[in-house]
Copies of this chain bind each other. A is one copy, B any other.
Amino acid sequence: MTRSRMANEDKILLAHGSGGKMSHDLVEKAFVRALANPLLAPLDDSAVADFRGRLAFTTDSYVVTPIFFPGGDIGRLAVCGTVNDLSTSGARPLYLSLAFIIEEGLPLKDLQKVVESVRATAEEAGVQVITGDTKVVEHGSADRLFINTAGIGRIPAGVNISGSNASPGDKVLVSGTIGDHGIAVLSKRQGLSFGTRLKSDCAPLGKMVAGMVKSSRNLHSLRDPTRGGLATTLNELAKQSRVGIRIEETKIPVRDEVTGACEMLGLDPLYIANEGKMIAIVAPGGADNVLAAMKRDRYGKDAAIIGEVIAEHPGRVVMKTVLGSSRIVDMLVGEPLPRIC
Protein backbone atom coordinates (compact mmCIF):
# COMPACT_ATOMS: atom_id res chain seq x y z
CA MET A 1 0.00 0.00 0.00
CA THR A 2 1.47 3.37 -0.97
CA ARG A 3 1.91 6.19 1.43
CA SER A 4 -0.62 8.45 -0.36
CA ARG A 5 -3.23 5.70 -0.34
CA MET A 6 -2.87 5.31 3.40
CA ALA A 7 -3.20 9.03 3.91
CA ASN A 8 -6.39 9.08 1.85
CA GLU A 9 -7.91 6.35 3.91
CA ASP A 10 -7.41 8.37 7.05
CA LYS A 11 -9.50 11.31 5.84
CA ILE A 12 -13.15 11.77 4.97
CA LEU A 13 -13.68 11.91 1.19
CA LEU A 14 -16.62 13.22 -0.83
CA ALA A 15 -17.51 9.61 -1.68
CA HIS A 16 -18.22 9.00 2.03
CA GLY A 17 -21.29 11.20 1.52
CA SER A 18 -22.44 9.63 -1.76
CA GLY A 19 -25.08 7.37 -0.29
CA GLY A 20 -23.21 4.49 -1.95
CA LYS A 21 -20.83 1.81 -0.73
CA MET A 22 -18.35 4.10 1.03
CA SER A 23 -21.20 5.88 2.85
CA HIS A 24 -22.53 2.56 4.08
CA ASP A 25 -19.10 1.48 5.25
CA LEU A 26 -18.53 4.77 7.08
CA VAL A 27 -21.95 4.70 8.74
CA GLU A 28 -21.40 1.12 9.83
CA LYS A 29 -17.84 1.66 11.05
CA ALA A 30 -17.97 5.12 12.58
CA PHE A 31 -21.56 5.45 13.77
CA VAL A 32 -23.58 2.24 14.09
CA ARG A 33 -20.97 0.26 16.02
CA ALA A 34 -20.36 3.10 18.46
CA LEU A 35 -23.99 4.03 19.03
CA ALA A 36 -25.57 0.55 18.81
CA ASN A 37 -29.05 0.21 20.30
CA PRO A 38 -32.14 -1.81 19.35
CA LEU A 39 -34.05 1.14 17.86
CA LEU A 40 -31.13 2.26 15.67
CA ALA A 41 -30.28 -1.29 14.55
CA PRO A 42 -32.90 -1.80 11.79
CA LEU A 43 -31.30 1.09 9.79
CA ASP A 44 -34.56 1.82 7.99
CA ASP A 45 -35.04 5.40 6.78
CA SER A 46 -37.13 6.08 9.90
CA ALA A 47 -36.67 4.71 13.40
CA VAL A 48 -39.81 3.40 15.08
CA ALA A 49 -40.68 3.63 18.79
CA ASP A 50 -43.84 3.34 20.85
CA PHE A 51 -44.89 6.60 22.50
CA ARG A 52 -47.80 7.73 24.60
CA GLY A 53 -48.23 11.06 26.33
CA ARG A 54 -47.11 14.64 25.90
CA LEU A 55 -44.20 14.80 23.50
CA ALA A 56 -41.50 17.50 23.55
CA PHE A 57 -39.60 18.07 20.27
CA THR A 58 -36.62 20.34 19.65
CA THR A 59 -33.64 20.83 17.32
CA ASP A 60 -30.31 22.66 17.25
CA SER A 61 -27.35 22.81 14.90
CA TYR A 62 -23.84 23.03 16.33
CA VAL A 63 -21.14 24.98 14.49
CA VAL A 64 -18.67 25.63 17.32
CA THR A 65 -15.06 26.38 16.42
CA PRO A 66 -12.71 24.82 17.38
CA ILE A 67 -14.53 21.46 17.44
CA PHE A 68 -12.42 20.32 20.43
CA PHE A 69 -12.25 22.74 23.36
CA PRO A 70 -11.39 22.55 27.07
CA GLY A 71 -14.13 20.58 28.82
CA GLY A 72 -15.80 19.17 25.73
CA ASP A 73 -16.16 18.98 21.98
CA ILE A 74 -18.83 19.46 19.32
CA GLY A 75 -20.17 15.94 19.96
CA ARG A 76 -20.75 16.43 23.68
CA LEU A 77 -22.21 19.86 22.91
CA ALA A 78 -24.64 18.43 20.33
CA VAL A 79 -26.04 15.96 22.86
CA CYS A 80 -26.12 18.38 25.83
CA GLY A 81 -27.70 21.27 23.93
CA THR A 82 -30.64 19.24 22.71
CA VAL A 83 -31.09 17.27 25.94
CA ASN A 84 -31.14 20.56 27.84
CA ASP A 85 -33.66 22.14 25.45
CA LEU A 86 -35.96 19.15 26.06
CA SER A 87 -35.43 19.53 29.80
CA THR A 88 -36.67 23.14 29.68
CA SER A 89 -40.19 21.81 29.13
CA GLY A 90 -39.81 19.45 32.09
CA ALA A 91 -39.55 16.54 29.64
CA ARG A 92 -37.51 13.43 30.22
CA PRO A 93 -35.20 13.29 27.17
CA LEU A 94 -35.53 9.95 25.33
CA TYR A 95 -34.44 9.92 21.69
CA LEU A 96 -32.00 11.88 19.53
CA SER A 97 -31.39 12.17 15.81
CA LEU A 98 -27.80 12.86 14.78
CA ALA A 99 -26.89 14.51 11.46
CA PHE A 100 -23.30 15.30 10.45
CA ILE A 101 -22.21 17.71 7.72
CA ILE A 102 -18.50 16.95 7.24
CA GLU A 103 -15.96 18.99 5.30
CA GLU A 104 -13.97 16.77 2.94
CA GLY A 105 -10.54 16.09 4.45
CA LEU A 106 -11.60 15.81 8.09
CA PRO A 107 -9.33 13.22 9.70
CA LEU A 108 -11.27 10.02 10.35
CA LYS A 109 -9.80 9.90 13.86
CA ASP A 110 -11.36 13.30 14.65
CA LEU A 111 -14.73 12.01 13.47
CA GLN A 112 -14.35 8.91 15.61
CA LYS A 113 -13.37 11.00 18.63
CA VAL A 114 -16.50 13.14 18.20
CA VAL A 115 -18.76 10.09 17.79
CA GLU A 116 -17.25 8.52 20.92
CA SER A 117 -18.04 11.75 22.76
CA VAL A 118 -21.64 11.60 21.46
CA ARG A 119 -21.86 8.01 22.72
CA ALA A 120 -20.49 8.76 26.17
CA THR A 121 -22.63 11.88 26.63
CA ALA A 122 -25.80 10.13 25.41
CA GLU A 123 -25.12 7.33 27.88
CA GLU A 124 -24.63 9.84 30.70
CA ALA A 125 -27.85 11.64 29.71
CA GLY A 126 -29.84 8.41 29.38
CA VAL A 127 -30.86 9.07 25.76
CA GLN A 128 -30.56 6.92 22.63
CA VAL A 129 -29.48 8.06 19.17
CA ILE A 130 -32.02 6.25 17.00
CA THR A 131 -31.67 7.84 13.55
CA GLY A 132 -29.01 9.78 11.67
CA ASP A 133 -27.61 11.20 8.44
CA THR A 134 -24.15 11.98 7.03
CA LYS A 135 -23.33 14.49 4.31
CA VAL A 136 -19.88 15.41 3.02
CA VAL A 137 -19.19 18.73 1.27
CA GLU A 138 -16.12 19.85 -0.67
CA HIS A 139 -13.07 21.28 1.08
CA GLY A 140 -13.87 24.96 1.70
CA SER A 141 -17.66 24.51 1.67
CA ALA A 142 -17.96 23.97 5.44
CA ASP A 143 -15.70 24.44 8.47
CA ARG A 144 -14.59 20.90 9.44
CA LEU A 145 -17.79 19.60 11.02
CA PHE A 146 -21.33 20.78 11.73
CA ILE A 147 -23.74 18.62 13.72
CA ASN A 148 -27.51 18.80 14.04
CA THR A 149 -29.40 16.93 16.70
CA ALA A 150 -33.16 16.85 17.14
CA GLY A 151 -34.64 15.36 20.29
CA ILE A 152 -37.83 13.81 21.57
CA GLY A 153 -38.80 13.71 25.24
CA ARG A 154 -41.82 12.81 27.32
CA ILE A 155 -43.39 15.35 29.69
CA PRO A 156 -44.66 13.71 32.90
CA ALA A 157 -48.39 14.04 33.61
CA GLY A 158 -49.27 17.21 35.52
CA VAL A 159 -46.08 19.07 34.59
CA ASN A 160 -46.68 22.47 32.98
CA ILE A 161 -43.46 24.43 32.53
CA SER A 162 -43.17 27.25 30.00
CA GLY A 163 -41.36 30.52 29.48
CA SER A 164 -44.76 32.20 29.64
CA ASN A 165 -45.56 31.05 33.21
CA ALA A 166 -43.43 33.50 35.24
CA SER A 167 -45.46 35.56 37.75
CA PRO A 168 -44.59 38.55 39.95
CA GLY A 169 -43.16 37.35 43.25
CA ASP A 170 -41.49 34.25 41.71
CA LYS A 171 -37.84 33.67 42.51
CA VAL A 172 -35.16 33.49 39.80
CA LEU A 173 -32.55 30.74 40.22
CA VAL A 174 -29.46 29.83 38.21
CA SER A 175 -27.81 26.42 38.58
CA GLY A 176 -24.20 27.64 38.73
CA THR A 177 -21.44 29.93 37.47
CA ILE A 178 -22.04 31.79 34.21
CA GLY A 179 -19.83 32.34 31.16
CA ASP A 180 -17.62 29.25 31.50
CA HIS A 181 -18.47 27.76 28.09
CA GLY A 182 -17.98 30.88 26.00
CA ILE A 183 -14.71 31.86 27.62
CA ALA A 184 -13.32 28.30 27.48
CA VAL A 185 -14.03 28.08 23.73
CA LEU A 186 -12.66 31.56 23.14
CA SER A 187 -9.44 30.69 24.95
CA LYS A 188 -8.60 28.24 22.14
CA ARG A 189 -9.34 30.50 19.17
CA GLN A 190 -6.49 31.20 16.80
CA GLY A 191 -4.99 34.58 17.56
CA LEU A 192 -6.85 34.87 20.85
CA SER A 193 -5.28 32.15 23.01
CA PHE A 194 -4.83 33.16 26.59
CA GLY A 195 -3.75 31.05 29.52
CA THR A 196 -6.60 29.71 31.64
CA ARG A 197 -7.50 26.45 33.32
CA LEU A 198 -11.14 27.21 32.67
CA LYS A 199 -13.27 24.43 31.17
CA SER A 200 -16.58 24.55 29.36
CA ASP A 201 -19.54 23.74 31.60
CA CYS A 202 -21.06 21.64 28.78
CA ALA A 203 -23.26 19.06 30.56
CA PRO A 204 -26.55 17.18 30.16
CA LEU A 205 -28.97 18.52 32.77
CA GLY A 206 -31.84 16.04 32.37
CA LYS A 207 -31.25 14.33 35.71
CA MET A 208 -30.89 17.60 37.63
CA VAL A 209 -34.09 18.90 36.05
CA ALA A 210 -35.96 15.67 36.85
CA GLY A 211 -35.02 16.22 40.51
CA MET A 212 -36.13 19.86 40.35
CA VAL A 213 -39.48 18.92 38.78
CA LYS A 214 -40.08 16.34 41.52
CA SER A 215 -39.08 18.76 44.29
CA SER A 216 -41.86 21.29 43.74
CA ARG A 217 -45.14 21.82 41.90
CA ASN A 218 -44.27 25.51 41.85
CA LEU A 219 -41.67 25.35 39.09
CA HIS A 220 -42.99 27.82 36.50
CA SER A 221 -40.28 28.31 33.87
CA LEU A 222 -36.98 26.74 32.83
CA ARG A 223 -34.56 27.92 30.18
CA ASP A 224 -30.89 27.23 29.49
CA PRO A 225 -28.89 30.43 28.97
CA THR A 226 -26.86 29.45 25.87
CA ARG A 227 -26.25 31.92 23.01
CA GLY A 228 -26.73 35.46 24.28
CA GLY A 229 -26.02 34.39 27.86
CA LEU A 230 -27.94 34.94 31.09
CA ALA A 231 -28.97 38.48 30.14
CA THR A 232 -30.57 37.54 26.83
CA THR A 233 -32.35 34.49 28.24
CA LEU A 234 -33.82 36.47 31.16
CA ASN A 235 -35.02 39.06 28.64
CA GLU A 236 -36.74 36.30 26.65
CA LEU A 237 -38.50 35.05 29.76
CA ALA A 238 -39.54 38.59 30.77
CA LYS A 239 -40.98 39.25 27.32
CA GLN A 240 -42.70 35.87 27.01
CA SER A 241 -44.38 36.19 30.44
CA ARG A 242 -44.92 39.98 30.16
CA VAL A 243 -43.30 40.57 33.53
CA GLY A 244 -40.20 42.35 34.78
CA ILE A 245 -37.20 40.52 36.22
CA ARG A 246 -34.93 42.06 38.87
CA ILE A 247 -31.56 40.45 39.54
CA GLU A 248 -28.76 41.31 41.96
CA GLU A 249 -25.26 41.42 40.50
CA THR A 250 -23.62 40.30 43.76
CA LYS A 251 -25.68 37.10 43.81
CA ILE A 252 -24.77 35.90 40.30
CA PRO A 253 -22.11 33.16 40.50
CA VAL A 254 -19.12 33.95 38.24
CA ARG A 255 -15.70 32.31 38.38
CA ASP A 256 -12.71 34.60 38.86
CA GLU A 257 -11.19 33.25 35.61
CA VAL A 258 -14.29 34.34 33.69
CA THR A 259 -14.34 37.77 35.33
CA GLY A 260 -10.64 38.17 34.53
CA ALA A 261 -10.93 37.06 30.90
CA CYS A 262 -13.97 39.29 30.39
CA GLU A 263 -12.13 42.32 31.77
CA MET A 264 -9.19 41.61 29.48
CA LEU A 265 -11.37 41.15 26.40
CA GLY A 266 -13.94 43.84 27.12
CA LEU A 267 -16.80 41.36 27.44
CA ASP A 268 -19.65 41.09 29.96
CA PRO A 269 -20.19 37.64 31.59
CA LEU A 270 -23.94 38.27 31.46
CA TYR A 271 -23.80 37.84 27.67
CA ILE A 272 -21.44 34.86 27.45
CA ALA A 273 -22.83 31.46 26.40
CA ASN A 274 -23.34 28.62 28.86
CA GLU A 275 -23.93 24.98 27.91
CA GLY A 276 -24.55 23.35 31.27
CA LYS A 277 -26.64 25.84 33.20
CA MET A 278 -30.36 26.16 33.82
CA ILE A 279 -32.40 29.17 34.84
CA ALA A 280 -35.48 28.32 36.93
CA ILE A 281 -38.37 30.59 37.85
CA VAL A 282 -40.25 29.28 40.87
CA ALA A 283 -43.14 30.50 43.01
CA PRO A 284 -41.72 31.72 46.36
CA GLY A 285 -43.00 28.70 48.30
CA GLY A 286 -41.02 26.28 46.11
CA ALA A 287 -37.77 28.18 45.66
CA ASP A 288 -35.84 26.59 48.52
CA ASN A 289 -36.85 23.06 47.49
CA VAL A 290 -35.83 23.65 43.88
CA LEU A 291 -32.54 25.23 44.98
CA ALA A 292 -31.84 22.22 47.18
CA ALA A 293 -32.63 19.85 44.27
CA MET A 294 -30.19 21.77 42.07
CA LYS A 295 -27.46 21.63 44.71
CA ARG A 296 -27.88 17.87 45.14
CA ASP A 297 -26.83 17.37 41.49
CA ARG A 298 -23.18 17.40 40.44
CA TYR A 299 -23.98 20.08 37.86
CA GLY A 300 -25.87 22.33 40.31
CA LYS A 301 -23.47 22.64 43.25
CA ASP A 302 -23.07 26.41 42.81
CA ALA A 303 -26.78 27.12 42.29
CA ALA A 304 -28.11 30.39 43.70
CA ILE A 305 -31.23 32.52 43.91
CA ILE A 306 -30.26 35.62 41.94
CA GLY A 307 -33.43 37.69 41.79
CA GLU A 308 -37.18 37.80 41.44
CA VAL A 309 -40.01 38.43 39.04
CA ILE A 310 -41.69 41.83 39.39
CA ALA A 311 -44.82 43.44 37.98
CA GLU A 312 -42.97 46.65 37.04
CA HIS A 313 -40.92 47.03 33.83
CA PRO A 314 -42.80 44.30 31.90
CA GLY A 315 -40.54 42.71 29.27
CA ARG A 316 -37.43 44.15 30.90
CA VAL A 317 -34.59 42.96 33.11
CA VAL A 318 -33.19 45.33 35.74
CA MET A 319 -30.07 44.68 37.80
CA LYS A 320 -29.01 46.05 41.15
CA THR A 321 -25.29 46.50 40.53
CA VAL A 322 -22.38 45.86 42.88
CA LEU A 323 -22.37 49.61 43.55
CA GLY A 324 -26.04 49.58 44.62
CA SER A 325 -27.45 51.42 41.61
CA SER A 326 -30.01 49.92 39.21
CA ARG A 327 -29.59 49.49 35.47
CA ILE A 328 -31.53 48.01 32.59
CA VAL A 329 -29.93 44.79 31.25
CA ASP A 330 -30.91 44.51 27.59
CA MET A 331 -30.75 41.57 25.19
CA LEU A 332 -27.47 40.97 23.42
CA VAL A 333 -27.11 43.39 20.50
CA GLY A 334 -24.55 42.51 17.82
CA GLU A 335 -22.28 39.48 18.01
CA PRO A 336 -19.08 39.67 20.05
CA LEU A 337 -18.48 35.87 20.00
CA PRO A 338 -19.57 34.05 16.87
CA ARG A 339 -19.62 30.23 16.61
CA ILE A 340 -19.52 29.57 20.33
CA CYS A 341 -22.01 26.69 20.07
A61 lies within 8 A of chain B by Cβ: yes
The listed residue (B13, B15, B48, B135) touching A54 by CB distance below 8 A is: B48
Q: Mark A96-116, 1 if CB is under 8 A from B, else 0.
A: 011111000000000000000
Q: Give CA–CA (A163, B42) in the complex, Å.
A: 8
Counted per complex, copies of this chain come to 2
A243 lies within 8 A of chain B by Cβ: no
A138 lies within 8 A of chain B by Cβ: yes
Contact B42 A47 (CB under 8 A): no
Chain B nearest CB, measured from A341 CB (Å): 8
Q: Give CA–CA (A55, B131) in the complex, Å.
A: 12
A89 lies within 8 A of chain B by Cβ: yes
Q: Give CA–CA (A21, B49) in the complex, Å.
A: 38
A335 lies within 8 A of chain B by Cβ: yes
Contact B338 A101 (CB under 8 A): no
Contact A50 B55 (CB under 8 A): yes
Contact A21 B58 (CB under 8 A): no
The listed residue (B52, B53, B61) touching A133 by CB distance below 8 A is: B61
Q: Give CA–CA (A138, B189) in the complex, Å.
A: 14
**Interface segment, A1-9, A221-229, A304-312?**
A221-229
The listed residue (B46, B53, B136, B162) touching A58 by CB distance below 8 A is: B46
A29 lies within 8 A of chain B by Cβ: no
Contact B227 A137 (CB under 8 A): no
Q: Mark A9-24, 1 if CB is under 8 A from B, else 0.
A: 0000111011111111
Q: A85 contacts which chain B residues (CB < 8 A)?
A: 45-46
A195 lies within 8 A of chain B by Cβ: no
Kindly name the residue among A46, A52, A132, A273 whose own CB sees the greatest number of chain B CB atoms within 10 A. Answer: A46
Contact B57 A97 (CB under 8 A): yes
How many residues on the A side are at the interface (Cβ–Cβ under 8 A)? 85
Q: A55 contacts which chain B residues (CB < 8 A)?
A: 48-51, 55, 152
Given contacts A57-B97, A99-B60, A131-B58, contact A24 B331 (CB under 8 A): yes
A313 lies within 8 A of chain B by Cβ: no
A240 lies within 8 A of chain B by Cβ: yes
Q: Find residues 35-91 in chain A having any chain B CB closer than 8 Å to their own CB.
A: 42-63, 65, 85-86, 88-89, 91
The listed residue (B48, B88, B226) touching A89 by CB distance below 8 A is: B48
A328 lies within 8 A of chain B by Cβ: no
The listed residue (B18, B46, B52) touching A334 by CB distance below 8 A is: B18
Contact B17 A335 (CB under 8 A): yes
Q: Find residues 305-339 in chain A having any chain B CB closer than 8 Å to their own CB.
A: 330-335, 338-339
Q: Give CA–CA (A49, B148) in the complex, Å.
A: 21
Q: Give CA–CA (A153, B12) in the complex, Å.
A: 33
Kindly name the residue among A132, A133, A271 whose own CB sees the greatest number of chain B CB atoms within 10 A. Answer: A133
Can you pick out 13 interface pairs between chain A and chain B where the beta carbons lie within 8 Å of each other? A19-B273, A20-B232, A20-B331, A20-B333, A44-B164, A46-B153, A63-B141, A101-B146, A131-B150, A142-B142, A142-B146, A146-B146, A150-B150
* A residues neighboring B (CB under 8 Å): 13-15, 17-24, 42-63, 65, 85-86, 88-89, 91, 95, 97-101, 130-133, 135-138, 140-143, 146, 148, 150-153, 155, 162-164, 223-224, 226-228, 232, 236, 240, 271, 273, 330-335, 338-339
